Amino acid sequence: MSAATVAHNAKRLPRAGVAKRLVARIGDGPAVIGGIGNANFDLWAAGHRARNFYMLGSMGLAIPIGLGVALAQPDRRVFVLEGDGSLLMQMGCLATVAARAPRNLAILILDNGTFQITGGQPTPAEQSGTDLVAVARACGLHRATWAADEAELDRLIDLCLIEDGPHAIGLKLDDSPPERQTERDPPQLRDRFMRGMGAKRDRTLG
């Protein structure tokens, strides 16, 4: 079980770089769901894409939303950016994902050890030393692994594009702030995403 120990060696990556690396590598096709907390801000700051969905509320539901998208469009890759605090709130969803085993779903756990957006308070998982990737594996996501550094993150993202999932990648992040904030207009965010996903036909408004 070597990968489980990588958590302790994983480099703390600058947070803004993660969404940028993801978006740069995956191209236009995949859907990306940005969770509440700074995850959706990072995704927004990385440059809007037609197939991005930004959550503004419903803490912990980024992975369930991603699962729904993945089940609806099994031929499209779906990436979820979810914070550690948010995942902790809805940890049971890891078992739900493993039970459905969507081949096209990849979860990126953005683990900064804190509820950063609400003031940087440490999470109980941080205080207890909970290894969220080990939790994901114990829930049945056997491919879950920590990314030790940027190069490994790139390699793992590439694997998510070509190999069957469900995938889960744990990332240790630093405490730098997000670069921008998502525009807070939920119906417009939803409408753009649906057009990007082809769930609304007329693209002229997108």
Partner 1 sequence: MQTETRPWHAIVLEVFKANGIRLIPYVPDNVLKPLIAACHADPFFTAFPTAREEEAVGIVCGAWMAGMRGLCLMQTSGFATLPNALASLPCAFQIPALVMVSERGTLGEFNMGQAMVCRTMRPILDSLGMEHHTVSRLDECEFIVDRTIRQAFMTQSPAALILSPLLTGGKAVARA
Binding site for ligand TPP (CB under 6 A): 36-39, 57, 59, 83-86, 112, 114-118
Q: Tell which one of 18, 22, 61, 81 touches partner 1 (CB under 8 A).
A: 61
Nearest Cα residue to 133 out of 167, 175, 104: 167
Full DSSP string of 48-110: --TTEEE--S-TT-HHHHHHHHHHH-TTS-EEEEEEHHHHHHTTTHHHHHHHH--TTEEEEEE
Q: Tell which one of 30, 37, 66, 165 touches partner 1 (CB under 8 A).
A: 66
Task: Tell me the two tokens of residue 3.
Answer: 């990968």
- Cβ 106 to ligand TPP, closest distance in Å? 18
Give 58 or 71: the residue with its C-beta nearer to ligand TPP.
58
Out of partner 1, ligand TPP, none, what residue 85 binds, judged by CB under 5 to 8 A for its kind, is: ligand TPP
The answer to whether 143 and 167 are in contact (CB under 8 A) is yes
Give 119 or 187: the residue with its C-beta nearer to ligand TPP.
119
Q: Tell which one of 3, 68, 138, 176 touches partner 1 (CB under 8 A).
A: 68
Using a 10 angstrom Cβ sphere, with 0-12 exposed, 13-18 middle and 19 or more buried, the burial of residue 127 is: exposed
Task: Tell me the two tokens of residue 168.
Answer: 């889960």
Q: Give the binding site for partner 1 (CB under 8 A).
A: 31, 33, 53, 55-73, 76, 90, 92-93, 95-96, 99-100, 186-187, 189-190, 193-194, 197-199
